[in-house]
């Protein structure tokens, strides 16, 4: 088997340890003898919607966000095709915001998103910074670190990724964190997210592989170190 990952804007959105997510996806696939290719996709660079199994977009600073938004809109149609073809998406922070309908800054024009997730984001006055713990609908937990001032509100076509136990989540108001719509995920969790949440990482890998290989059973790995770090993070203060 082979896992094909498209890392969008790898060179722009690389400041919050999001590389850790790529490392986790790659290593956990390799440890199971699944081949992995990671293709960095830069501005104006073609990404064949038939080819990739998993798309990853990280977070960046405000300045980068504008450049990315312009490029993303240009490829909106292709990315929708990719979703229809069964590709999985993991988007973090800035990437997550741009998968929604729009991002409205304090001043200046709205940044148009690509509406893969039924959500919108408005600039907030307070930076939400700290450790986060969320509980998913299957009772599993995700741990990470948030650092954003944008407040994201979900529409009715999308579920939050989990309920906030510690931290702020999407907007610090409605108790939701992240978004999930089919195989498309958005979240504010850095940390990095996937290394410390191996279960979720594996879920992404198998959902991505299922695009071309159907139902995939991943071999179990020894996750003692990962689980220890996860467990430790459960008790971190916000």
Partner 1 sequence: MTSNDRVAVAVGKMAARTIRMLGAGLGSNLPGRVARKLAPDVLSHLAGQSKKGVIAVTGTNGKSTTSGLLSSVLKTAGFTLIHNRQGANLVTGITATLVDAASWDGHINTDYCLFEIDEAALPLVARETTLSVVVVTNLFRDQLDRFGELDTTARLIEKGISICKSPAVLNADDPNVCQLVPDNTRLFFGMDAGYCEVDSQRITDESNLDCSQSMELSYCLKCGAEIVYDCFFYGQLGHWRCSSCDYKRPDPTIVATHIQLNATGSRFKLTDKRQNLSVEVKLPIPGLFNVYNALAAAACAVKLGVTLESVKQGLQNYSTLFGRSEKISLLGKPVLIQLIKNPAGASQTVKAVVEDSTARVLIAINDNLADGRDISWLWDADFEPLRAVKGTVIVSGLRADDMAVRMKYAGIEPERIVCVPKLERALRQALNDTTPDETLWVLPTYTCLLELQKIVKSMGQSLAGT
| Binding positions for partner 1, rule: CB under 8 A | 7, 10-12, 14-20, 22-24, 26-27, 37-40, 61-64, 67, 127, 129-131, 145, 147, 149, 190-192, 195-196, 222, 224-226, 228-229, 232-233
Of 7, 101, 190, 230, catalytic: 190
Nearer to partner 1, 108 or 214 (CB): 108
Burial of 63 (0-12, 13-18, 19+ CB in 10 A): exposed
Instruction: Output 181 or 187, the one with its CB closest to partner 1.
Output: 187
Indicate if 201 belongs to the active site: no
Among 9, 16, 184, CA closest to 93: 16
By C-beta, is 18 or 177 nearer to partner 1? 18
CB of 220 to partner 1, least distance (A): 15
Question: In the numeric block, which tokens belong to residue 32?
Answer: 């199971």
- Of 80, 57, 78, the C-alpha closest to 69 is 57
Indicate the pairing of strand 2-8 with strand 54-57: parallel
Q: Does residue 190 carry a catalytic annotation?
A: yes
Alpha helices in the chain (DSSP H): 19-30, 62-74, 76-84, 94-99, 193-196, 198-213, 224-234
Q: Which is nearer to partner 1, 49 or 58 (CB)?
A: 58
Return all residues near 108 (Cβ < 8 A) that are at least 6 apart. none
- Kindly list the catalytic residues: 93, 190
């Amino acid at each position: 088997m082979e896992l094909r990952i498209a890392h969008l804007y790898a060179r722009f959105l690389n400041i919050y340890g999001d590389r850790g997510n790529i490392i986790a996806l790659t290593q956990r696939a390799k440890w199971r003898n699944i081949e992995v290719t990671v293709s960095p996709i830069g501005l104006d660079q073609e990404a064949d919607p038939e080819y990739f199994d998993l798309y990853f977009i990280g977070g960046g600073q405000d300045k980068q966000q504008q450049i990315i938004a312009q490029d993303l809109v240009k490829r909106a149609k292709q990315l929708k095709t990719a979703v229809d073809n069964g590709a999985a998406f993991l988007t973090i922070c800035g990437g997550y915001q741009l998968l929604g309908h729009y991002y409205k800054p304090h001043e200046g024009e709205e940044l148009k998103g690509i509406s893969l997730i039924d959500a919108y984001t408005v600039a907030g006055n307070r930076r939400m910074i700290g450790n986060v713990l969320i509980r998913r609908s299957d009772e599993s937990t995700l741990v990470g670190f948030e650092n954003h001032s944008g407040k994201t509100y979900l529409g009715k076509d999308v579920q939050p990724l989990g309920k906030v136990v510690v931290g702020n989540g999407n907007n610090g108001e409605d108790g939701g964190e992240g978004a999930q719509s089919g195989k498309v995920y958005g979240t504010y969790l850095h940390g990095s997210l996937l290394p410390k949440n191996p279960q979720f990482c594996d879920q992404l890998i198998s959902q991505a592989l299922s695009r071309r290989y159907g139902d995939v059973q991943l071999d179990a790995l020894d996750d003692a170190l990962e689980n220890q770090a996860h467990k430790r993070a459960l008790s971190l203060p916000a």
